[in-house]
Amino acid sequence: MTYIDGFVLAVPNANKQKFVDHAELTGPAFVELGAKRIFECWGDEVPDGKVTDFKGAVQAKDDETVVFSWIEWPDKATRDAAMTKMTAQMEGKEPANSRMDPTKNPMPFDGARMIYGGFTPLIDEGEQASTSTGYADGFVTPVPEGKRDAYRDMAAKAAGIFREYGAIRSLEAWGDDVPEGKQTDYRRAVKAEEGETVVFSFLEWPDKQTRDEGWAKIMQDERMKPDEMLFDGKRMFWGGFKPVVTVGG
């Protein structure tokens, strides 16, 4: 079953090309370790929230843009094996991959403020290997652990509506390996409470126009009104992103 590593980071605007160059170098290294697809998306419409938002999640500065990224693996075992190998390389137990070596390919952003985690898909509908994605919506949501099945059912219903209005793909993934960070992390980003799990989600669209037109219809569709509010919407955050690097697929 597909497994997702999800990332959110803040990149200085002046380093956009350096970020693209860095991602184009490291992406193939992940594919060689078994990854199916890597997407790096540059913030385009990332609104300020009243309680939480993407910018606050990574403590973005005024001259920085939020990047929303994910790596798709065929299964968790492949992902875990890849992480083990990369750790061994960093610890000098295996020959280092120069593309992943920060001294040779330095990160053009503050890694201490990057948030990341592993997620198990609850629903994944649409083209799983699309190369035609021109725009993406990203979401991060705190959901009570006891609401997992109800949330999956709600997400499956919504996925059909999203695709009806032009989305290429809808994926909702349940937090599985979401570590605590020293400075930032997913749980702090959504102010997660005891008994809540973080859900990482995205919608892929062929282009921004289709996305904008689709959302206008989605917001008016009576089928989108929930029978029960399964999570605190004030602590969910979302944004629109333009893909800048795609590897695999």
Residue whose C-alpha is closest to residue 51's, from 194, 241, 229, 188: 188
pLDDT of residue 87: 79
Say whether pLDDT at 232 is over 60: yes
Q: Which long-range contacts (CB under 8 A, 24 or more apart) does 161-164 make?
A: 161/218, 161/221, 161/223, 161/224, 162/203, 162/214, 162/218, 163/125, 163/126
Does residue 131 surpass a pLDDT of 70? Answer: no
CB 180 within 8 A of CB 120: no
Q: What is the mean pLDDT of residues 196-212?
A: 97
Evaluate if residue 225 carries a pLDDT over 80: yes
Residue 82 scores a pLDDT above 90: yes
pLDDT at 233 over 80: yes
Q: In the chain, pLDDT over 90 holds for what percent of residues? A: 84
The pLDDT value recorded for residue 89 is: 75
Q: What is the count of structural domains for the chain?
A: 1
> What is the pLDDT confidence band of residue 101, given thresholds at 50, 70 and 90?
confident
Q: Are 233 and 33 in contact (CB under 8 A)?
A: no
The CATH number given to whatever domain includes residue 213 is 3.30.70.100
pLDDT band of residue 133 (cuts 50, 70, 90) is confident
In this prediction, residue 226 carries a pLDDT of: 82
Q: Which residues of 153-174 are buried (b: 16+ CB within 10 A; e: fewer)?
A: ebbeebbebbbebbbbbbbbbb
Is the pLDDT at 70 greater than 70? The verdict is yes
User: With 90 as the cut, is the pLDDT of residue 228 above it?
Assistant: no
What is the reported pLDDT for 128?
A: 60
pTM above 0.75? yes
Summarised one tens digit per residue, pLDDT across range 51-66 is 999 999 999 999 999 9
Q: Is 95 a residue whose pLDDT tops 80? A: no
Q: Which residue range(s) make up the domain with 114?
A: 3-248
